[in-house]
Structure 1
C-alpha cells in the first residue's frame, strides 16, 4: 500500500477510534474503546484536518484535534491532553524465518515509515526511540546491522532516535534482520519474539549492549510478530512474560503497550501461511485488563491496520502515564 493510501486508512481509524468515541477497531482480540473527541465538523480540512493537502495536519490542525478546522476537532477545538507521557520507547521483535519475507518487507517499507510519523503526531509526544531484534533471545542484543552491513545509527547507540535525519533508512537497515550471530538451534527456539524483547530489557543485556535504552519517563511499546507462535525456551506461561515487561517498567502495568501479531487460526493469508498463535493471543489477553494489549491477525494481512490500533492504545496510555521514581 502506498504511503498516502495508508494515511487515509489511518485517518479513518483515528476518526472512529479517537474523534468519535467508537470501538477499538476491527480485528483486535482485546483493547480499549477509543477516547471520545470534542466533536467533528471542521471546515475545509483534508482527511487529517489540514488545508492545502498536507497529510499530517497543515494549517488545519493535527490528527488529534489540536488546531482549528481539524477533521476531528471542529473550529478552534481543543484535543485531548497528555498527563505526562512525552517519550516512547519502542521495541520491534521479528521472527526471521524464511517464511516471514512478506511480513518483514511490509514492516520495513510500509508500516514503520507511517508509524514513525503518526507516533509523533500524537499530542504531547516529543520523541521516540526504536530498537529491533529477531525472535531469538540468545543473545537478546538490539540489532545495529542488517544483512547489508552496519546501519550506523546517528544516535551512536544500539537503537534509533526519532531526531535522526534518516530514521526511516536506519529502520529499514535494521529490519532487514541479520541473525548470523544467534545461538538458537532453529528447532522452534528461534520463534519467541516476545520473550526476546523481555530478555533484552533484563540483565545482562539491559546492563551491557542495551544499557540505558529504557527511560523512566517513557512509555514502553512492544511489537512482536511471528507466523508461528510464541514458544519460550524454557517454557514460560504468558502471564510470566507479561510480568517481565511490567517489572522492566518499575511495576507499572499501564506503562506498557503490547501488540502481538500472529495467526488467529491456521491459515493461508495475504503474507502466506501462518499457524495459530495461541500463546501470543494469551499473552495479549494478559494486558487486556489495562487496555494495553492488541492482537492482529496475520491471516487478514494489512499490518498497517494493526499498527493503527496500537496507536490508539499508545495515546490512551500516554494520557494515563505514571512516571516511575526509582
Structure 2
C-alpha cells in the first residue's frame, strides 16, 4: 500500500488548519533502525475529503470513519477489529505535534483503518505520558469531550469521532501525580499501565477485545523515561501480556532519532523508545518515525503497513 501520495494530498487540502512540516514527496528513512524506509512518491490525492466521500483515495473499497464497513472483503485479514491507544507527551514543547495529531494524523488514520480490507471497526483511547493515573482521557483542556460511545474511549461508529479526538487530543493533565521532572514523559509505559490492573479492571475495563489487534502509538519529543526504571524488553513484555501474544501487538514510536531542531521544534534523542520499538521490529510489529523529519502523516504509512501484516497473522485469544 502506498499512502504517501494520498497523505500529500490530504496535507495540502487542510494546510489552513496546521502546517505539515515539509513535502511528502521526498524520500525519507522510516521504521526502526535497520528497517527499510519507504520511498517518497509525491503527487496529489484523489479524495475530496478525509473520509473518502469524494472518492476512494486509498483504492481499498468503500468505507468511512463515521461507521463505515471497511473494504469489500477480498483478501480478508485475520482480524476484523482494532483497538488503538494513543499515548502523547503533554509537555509544553509538544504543542505542534498535538495539533498535527488532531487535525491531520488521526482523521487520516481513522479513514485508512476502515478502508483496510476486512476491518469492521476500531476503537481509540487517548492517554498522556504519565501513568499516574493511567486512566483514559475523556476530557480535554476545553472540558468534557462527550464521547458518543458513553465509554472512556471513542468508537469508529461515532458520527463525531473527529471532533471527539480533536477535543481529547488537547490533553488535560490536571489530575496527574507526576512531578513533571521527566517522569511525565513515559508514553509507552503509560499505555502499558492503562492496559493492566488496576486500570484495566476499573476505569479502562472493557477496552481490550479478545478479537482485536492492539495498536499503541507512543509520541514524545524527549525519550521514554520509565519511573521506576525499566529496560525496553520489560515494557515490551508488559504490552504483550495485555494481548497474550506478541503477534497481536503493533507499536509505532514517534520521537527524535537524534537530538535536533526539527519541523516541530526541538527534540531529544529518543534512545530508549527506539530500543523499545526494536523489540517489536523483529516480528514486523514495530516502527519508529523520526520526529526531526516532521510529517507525522508519513509515519502513518509505516503504521498501516505493520497493521496489515499483523492482521494476517492475528492469533485470537482462546475463550
Shorter-chain TM-score bucket reads 0.7 to 0.9
Q: 31, 49, 56: which one pairs with 1:28? A: 31
Q: Tell me the TM-score normalized by structure 2.
A: 0.83
| Equivalent residue number for residue 208 of structure 1 | 202
Pair 1:156-2:157 in alignment = no
Q: 305, 310, 313: which one pairs with 1:317? A: 310
Give 1:63 shift.
3.0
Give 1:65 shift.
5.2
Give 1:99 shift.
0.4
Q: Distance in 2 between matches of 1:168 and 1:65?
A: 21
Change (3 A) 1:79 1:85: closer
Q: 162, 167, 170: which one pairs with 1:173? A: 167
Q: Distance in 2 between matches of 1:184 and 1:57?
A: 41
Larger-gyration structure (1/2): 1
Pair 1:139-2:137 in alignment = no
Q: Distance in 1 between matches of 2:281 and 2:215?
A: 15
Structure 2 residue ranges without an equivalent (≥5): 12-26, 38-43, 63-71
Structure 1 residue ranges without an equivalent (≥5): 11-23, 35-45, 68-77
Q: Tell me the TM-score normalized by structure 1.
A: 0.81
| Equivalent residue number for residue 245 of structure 1 | 239
Give 1:322 shift.
1.0
Q: 77, 84, 92: which one pairs with 1:98? A: 92
Change (3 A) 1:63 1:267: same
Q: 46, 58, 63: which one pairs with 1:63? A: 58
The answer on whether the counterparts of 2:88 and 2:187 sit within 8 Å (CA) in structure 1 is yes
| Equivalent residue number for residue 113 of structure 1 | 107
The answer on whether the counterparts of 1:30 and 1:288 sit within 8 Å (CA) in structure 2 is no
Q: 230, 244, 262: which one pairs with 2:255? A: 262
Q: Distance in 2 between matches of 1:218 and 1:238?
A: 24
| Equivalent residue number for residue 293 of structure 1 | 286
Q: Distance in 2 between matches of 1:102 and 1:185?
A: 23
| Equivalent residue number for residue 180 of structure 2 | 186
Give 1:81 shift.
1.6
Coordinate RMSD, CA, aligned: 2.8
Q: 119, 123, 126: which one pairs with 1:129? A: 123
Change (3 A) 1:248 1:55: closer
Q: Deviations over 1:208-242 (max 9, x none)?
A: 00001000000000000000000000000100100
The answer on whether the counterparts of 2:127 and 2:136 sit within 8 Å (CA) in structure 1 is yes
Q: Distance in 2 between matches of 1:185 and 1:63?
A: 44
Give 1:149 shift.
0.5
Look up the SS of the partner of 1:290 in the other structure.
coil
Pair 1:275-2:268 in alignment = yes
| Equivalent residue number for residue 85 of structure 1 | 79
Q: Deviations over 1:244-275 (max 9, x none)?
A: 1111002x101100000000000000000000
The answer on whether the counterparts of 1:111 and 1:304 sit within 8 Å (CA) in structure 2 is yes
The answer on whether the counterparts of 2:6 and 2:58 sit within 8 Å (CA) in structure 1 is no
Change (3 A) 1:8 1:213: same
